[in-house]
Amino acid sequence: MIYNHYNCAPIPEQIVDLASLPTGARGVVRSLRGGRGFLSRLATMGFTAGTEVTVLQNYGHGPIITLVRGTRVALGRGEARHILVSVVR
């Protein structure tokens, strides 16, 4: 939970899919969607719940590049949509 500086009211977490994060933005993985084999590949590449992901390249079309656990991982746009993250401010 994140709290507002001025009145200490909680700011609702903004959950988006990874493909909609712009270049340079960061998010914390909340959940993964998809079949078992796909989840297994994502998870072993480091996308587990609670992991911080930085978007290194996102031109709004085509695949994106992320930095996860110190490794650059390229993801197809469709694949990135299956990763839900909360936006890090």
Nearer to other proteins, 7 or 44 (CB): 44
**Closest to 18 measured CA to CA, from 28, 8, 7, 10:** 28
Binding of other proteins at residue 75 (CB under 8 A)? Answer: yes
Residue pair 72/82 in contact by the 8 Å Cβ criterion = no
Instruction: Specify the DSSP element, H or E, that contains 31.
Output: strand 26-32
Binding to other proteins in span 27-46, by CB under 8 A: 32, 36-46
Binding of other proteins at residue 16 (CB under 8 A)? Answer: no
Which residues are at the interface with other proteins (CB under 8 A)?
A: 32, 36-46, 48-51, 56-57, 59, 61-63, 65, 68-76, 78-79
